[in-house]
Chains A and B, each alone.
Chain A
Amino acid sequence: MSKPAAAFQAAASAYVGERETRAFLRQSLAGYLAQRRTGEERFQDWEEARVAASAAKGEALDYLDRYLADFLTRIEKRGTRVFFARDAARARERVVEIVREHDAKCIVKSKSMTGEEIDLSETLEHLGYEVVETDLGEYIVQLRGERPFHIVAPAMHLRREEIRELFAGKIGPEAGRSAEPEALTMDARRAIRRKYLEADIGISGVNFAVAETGQICVCTNEGNGRLSTSLPRVHIAVMGLEKLVPNLDDLALLLPMLATAGTGQHLTGYTTIIGGPRQPGEADGPEEFHLIILDNGRTALLADDEQRDALHCIRCGACIYMCPIFKNIGGHSYGTTYMGPIGSVITPHLRGLEEWRHLPSSSSLCGACTETCPVRIDLHHHLLHNRRNAAAAHPAPLEKLALRAYGWLAGRPALFSLAGKLGKLALRAFSPLLGTALDPARGWTRCRALPEPPRQSFREWWKTHEPEPASERDDDDEE
């Protein structure tokens, strides 16, 4: 078992043991579900909108070279400085370079999963810069020294009282006087407010990039994305190269879908569409706008035409909310930037199949993710594809042998039937051991009873079965 796999099993088992925590998470998810349903019903045709959304993202990806070139021409014409990074290290280096050039001290950051992916905040903090996460949820997990629990709702695992204690301890005595969400939000507002004015640099992520116009789009509810990109004199945006959409009409389709799938809202509060640094004649805005476009494994996924649709992902987090695995192990157990079904599909591509093959395996393949995905990524089937690829590239010798033997047996009905009978006999023989440490079926019996094996199999019954003539039933009816 790889190290991440062992860590995953341990973390997941521990979380499963915390019944109250799981109940709290379920309750929170129930609220999402109700709003989400109302959100979908507002559409004239949500299902067809999913098809259209998938087509728009698919168009951008299948002709990505052209759309990206168009995008660049337009956004660079307005003075944007674009940098392409093959991997996380290159992207980090570039950000650090810009920060040094400007002799920055304080950096305000609005929520960015790509930033998480490249460990941006940690890197900058390690170098001694003050990095303030401005999204409330991100701010909370930053103060706790944690990673986001969910890509859209980073602090959804915390109760108000835990946040109150955190604020009182980390912000100071003026904060955390009440555990009311309203009061806690105002604590954070006050703590962060000055930083917008002091910061030399604002960092954001990117939700969409529009090829037609050469603009990026950042969606936030709190307005932190607006403030982080308005006041500091330098704005750095980090985006994965899959964020392209062909045109503004596609944006008009995708924005409400992102909001609906992400939170059940009809539209995120602030939709910020940026095409460059401050232009001539404008009142304010950053003097410099840097855009970093990240590969970090994405072109490899693009090359996999079977799983290319995983790059359609708009990071709404719906598949995570709907996933019964996530509901029971929480977001931190995965040990990845992207948790839940989308994480289990893409992490093996981004970080290595051999080490991360346990993620696609740790699924019951129920398909709730695929059903909910607003851009119709074939998520649960890609989990199967990842399993197939892992088995081909890094076969587990024992498992392969066992399955081959099973297949051999399945080709011999008489033997297969005999094996079934012996298996049932063995179950009876082992019954005193069931549930104990010596139990060969412990993975099952630890928490579940085994069915009582019947004396007669179906095929044995069939041999004795005389078909009831349909007329017999008619006779019965006449009696």
Chain B
Amino acid sequence: MSAPNDDRDLIFRRIREAIRIRRENLPDHGDAERYRQLLPPVRASLQARIELFREWSDKLNTRFIAANPSDWRAEIASLAAAEGWKSSAFHGTGLAREATEAAGLPAATALDTTRGYDPERLEACDVGFTDCEALVAQTGSVLLTSRGNGGRALSVLPPHHVVIATAGQMVPDLLAAMALIRERHGAALPSLVTLHTGPSRTGDIERQIVLGAHGPKKLTVILILD
């Protein structure tokens, strides 16, 4: 259903007319294999990927904690104590739920965004716990979708975003992240796919970096090693 005055047909006609002459001097359109030879390099081993993710986290002011399966809950508990969290939000039944429990903020009273929620209440939460689709070593990014990771607002509205990931989720680069989206969700894409690379930041005043412009002031990534 198109609105009145829609210029779709006119613009398509103009486009077809405009590109009747194709350019001869264009270089060949590349593919993932080619791009991987040009973009910043990533070493193959999992250990190297984790180290690269850690390097980026340091530069970005992301707090990165790699913990054993037996320790990660304790890491969250000590983080909760240090930060003084009083209220939290999470999603679903997986790692995010375990995380809020570990923080001493029981899921029964915390906000679960997958069950319908009041944005005002989410805004008032001290922390949002999510899992993720993947971590990207090349850029120190967290890959999230609106389908799997608690919707759109959970990862960006509370002042502290805590991500729980497993080592197997550490992909080497952006190309691998795109391939993952394609394979996992190609048939029915979620409405939002997002990469979070460090906490919210701005350099709009005299190019001085300030964290927490609008989104989370803090981003913590907890990686559960196998």
Contacts and interface: CB of A to CB of B under 8 A. Distances in A.
B32 A249 contact: yes
A270 B31 contact: no
A399 interface: no
A272 B38 CA distance: 24
Interface string A239-282: 00100001011011101100000010011111111111111011
Given A55-B26, A55-B29, A229-B152, A270 B195 contact: yes
Interface in B163-177: 173-175, 177
A223 interface: yes
Interface string B12-24: 1011111101110
A269 B196 contact: yes
Contact of B193 (A42, A158, A215, A249): A215
Nearest to A210: B178
A186 B175 CA distance: 35
Interface string B182-226: 100010111111111111111111111010111110000000000
Contacts of A223: 156, 200, 213-216
A472 interface: no
Contacts of A63: 19, 22
Given A93-B5, A248-B178, A252-B174, A284 B152 contact: yes
A125 interface: no
B88 interface: no
Interface stretch (A300-308, A339-347, A450-458): A300-308
Contacts of A169: none
A231 interface: yes
A222 interface: yes
Contact of B210 (A185, A241, A263, A299): A185
A55 B194 contact: no
B103 interface: no
A83 B34 contact: no
Given A28-B206, A221-B202, A68 B35 contact: no
Nearest to B207: A31
A241 to B, nearest CB: 7
Contact of B152 (A45, A221, A226, A293): A226
Contacts of B206: 28, 159-160, 181
A6 interface: no
Interface in B23-81: 23, 26-32, 34-35, 37-41, 56
Interface string A213-241: 11100000111101101110000000001
A251 B204 contact: no
A146 interface: no
Given A45-B38, A97-B3, A285-B192, A279 B147 contact: yes
A282 B38 contact: no
Given A181-B205, A224-B213, A270 B193 contact: no
Interface in B135-181: 139, 141, 146-147, 150-154, 156-157, 173-175, 177-179, 181
Nearest to A64: B15
A145 B78 CA distance: 48
> In this complex, which of B35, B37, B203 has the most chain A Cβ atoms within 10 angstroms of its Cβ?
B203
A285 B32 contact: no
Contacts of B82: none
Contact of B26 (A58, A90, A269): A58
Contacts, number: 314
A99 to B, nearest CB: 13
Chain A contact-residue range equals: 35 or more
B191 A267 contact: no
A253 B30 contact: yes
Given A182-B210, A285-B146, A272 B203 contact: no
Contacts of A45: 37-38
B91 interface: yes
B25 to A, nearest CB: 9
A268 B156 CA distance: 15
A427 interface: no
A188 B200 CA distance: 14
Contacts of B205: 136, 140, 155, 158, 160, 163, 181, 184-185
B156 A295 contact: no
B27 to A, nearest CB: 4
A61 B18 CA distance: 10
Given A44-B40, A185-B205, A285-B152, A275 B190 contact: yes
Interface stretch (A46-54, A385-393, A430-438): A46-54
Contacts of A214: 189
Contacts of A271: 141, 194-195, 197
Given A51-B27, A55-B28, A192 B207 contact: no
Nearest to B189: A275
A205 interface: no
B194 A226 contact: yes
B178 A249 contact: yes
A401 interface: no
Given A189-B214, A277-B191, A221 B201 contact: yes
Nearest to B212: A189
Contacts of A23: none
A267 B146 CA distance: 21
Contacts of A277: 191
Interface string A289-301: 1000101000110
A299 B11 contact: yes
B109 interface: no
A159 B22 CA distance: 47
Contacts of B190: 275, 279, 282
12 contacts: A52-B30, A63-B22, A93-B5, A153-B207, A185-B202, A222-B200, A222-B202, A223-B213, A223-B215, A227-B215, A279-B188, A300-B18
Interface of A: 28, 31-32, 42-46, 48-49, 51-52, 54-56, 58-59, 61-65, 68-69, 78, 81-86, 90, 93-94, 97, 134-137, 140, 153-156, 158-160, 163, 181-182, 184-186, 188-189, 192-193, 196-197, 213-215, 221-224, 226-227, 229-231, 241, 246, 248-249, 251-253, 255-256, 263, 266-279, 281-285, 289, 293, 295, 299-300, 302-303, 305, 308-309
Given A229-B152, A268-B197, 6 more contacts: A193-B123, A193-B214, A223-B216, A224-B215, A230-B156, A253-B39
